[in-house]
Amino acid sequence: MIPKIQLHNIMMGCDPEFFFSQNNKIIGSEKILPAKGLATSGSKITRDGIQAELNPTPHTCRKLLANEIRWCFKTITKQIPKNTQINLSQNIKVTKSEMNSLSEESKQFGCKPSTNIYKTESSINLIDASKFYSRSAGGHLHLGIPSQSTNLNLLKALNSPKHTVPFLDLIVGNTCVLIDRDKSNITRRKLYGQAGEYRQLENRIEYRTLSNFWLKNYTLMSFVTGLARMAVSIAAESYKHPKIKKTLFSQINTKDIIEAINKNNTKLAMKNFNAIKNTLSEIMEENSHTTPLNKETIPLFLFFAKKGINYWFTENPTTHWTQLNTQINNGWESFLLTTVQQEYARK
């Protein structure tokens, strides 16, 4: 028997990227945002090369983090010119004339090279950014320990990327391939955002594999951050219960996880997910209202994934975030156990 585990209290942050466009053409963020960026209630919106980036204040609560993102969007929409749109494309091409009009700083890649547990060199170092007209938008997650926490296993996990990042790939990266089907992920991951990609900071891991797809809707943001908390919790508990790690990673081939993520291979990702879903059901607590995947909700998630995120979420993302109810009651688990479950029952 594998012991059931409870989710740990962790700090959840993010720095998702996006673009600005005018007349259906991408423009550099320096033309919209001041050099110091914009600030709101402790959160920021900053330049990141051609892209712009949200830096919401981290929280242990997904609702509170979502509220920070909401305020970021409300701040942006109040500041940008009327002929300017927020563009959440995952991969774009900027025109040569636009590139030439930008400062040297903006022509460079906003992201510094990452560390990867599976390889030693970053492909992004090999590119002359000023002559490379494609840009991608990442949706990186920041996972840290609360200041008052005394959880030594959690502290150890967040300072041991070689131990924890494989759990993030297995539970977050591979699972998100099932719903983030945009083929531009393949292009993006030739440069960055590959499986195993992270940055290590004190008591914090930045997981850098995901795109910005989860900015489409609060429910997706709730799902992704919930998965990340789940992965870190399992990684921390596996120090106390080594059988958890041994069982999970004996059921899959790590090379298959890497390929599923880097090639955005949904069929392989599904094979990987099916290989571990029963173990996840066995080890996760059965509180369906706090755990993104467990025995009750995994069938609903698979139904959700089969339909695709564009089936479930049709609202303009900027409109969605700016008009989001401050109570924010429709998180992932609530959405799954109401909207998805009702349609699942009918089908």
Question: Rounded to 5 degrees, what are φ and ψ at 186?
Answer: -65, -45
Phi-psi region of 263 (alpha: psi -120 to 50; beta: other; left: phi over 0): alpha
Domains in the chain: how many in total? 1
Query: Residue 306 above 70 pLDDT?
Result: yes
Q: Give the amino acid at 27.
A: I
pLDDT, residue 130, reads 63
Tell me the CATH number at 81: 3.30.590
- What is the average pLDDT across 79-99? 92
In a domain, 207, yes or no: yes
Query: Residue 110 above 90 pLDDT?
Result: no
Query: Residue 114 above 90 pLDDT?
Result: no
Query: Residue 57 above 60 pLDDT?
Result: yes
In a domain, 325, yes or no: yes
In a domain, 159, yes or no: yes
3-state secondary structure at position 311: helix
pLDDT single digits (tens) 147-166: 888 899 999 999 999 999 99
3-state secondary structure at position 41: coil
Sign of CA dihedral 270, 272, 274, 276: negative
Share of the chain above pLDDT 70, in %: 94
pLDDT single digits (tens) 13-43: 999 999 999 999 999 999 999 999 999 878 9
Answer whether 224's CB lies under 8 Å from 214's CB: yes
pLDDT, residue 160, reads 96
CA distance 9 to 333: 17
In a domain, 2, yes or no: no
Answer whether 218's CB lies under 8 Å from 331's CB: yes
List the domain range (segments joined by +) for residue 261: 11-346
pLDDT, residue 287, reads 65
Query: Residue 328 above 90 pLDDT?
Result: no
- Tokens 């899959």 — which residue? 252
pLDDT single digits (tens) 252-267: 999 999 999 999 999 9
In a domain, 283, yes or no: yes
Query: Residue 273 above 70 pLDDT?
Result: yes
Answer whether 184's CB lies under 8 Å from 244's CB: no
In a domain, 4, yes or no: no
More confident residue, 92 or 142: 142
In a domain, 131, yes or no: yes
pLDDT single digits (tens) 115-130: 999 986 655 555 656 6
pLDDT, residue 325, reads 82
Q: What separation in angstroms does the CA of 74 have from each of 35, 43, 54, 79, 148?
A: 19, 12, 12, 9, 31
Q: What separation in angstroms does the CA of 56 have from each of 39, 41, 76, 154, 271?
A: 10, 9, 13, 23, 35
In a domain, 3, yes or no: no
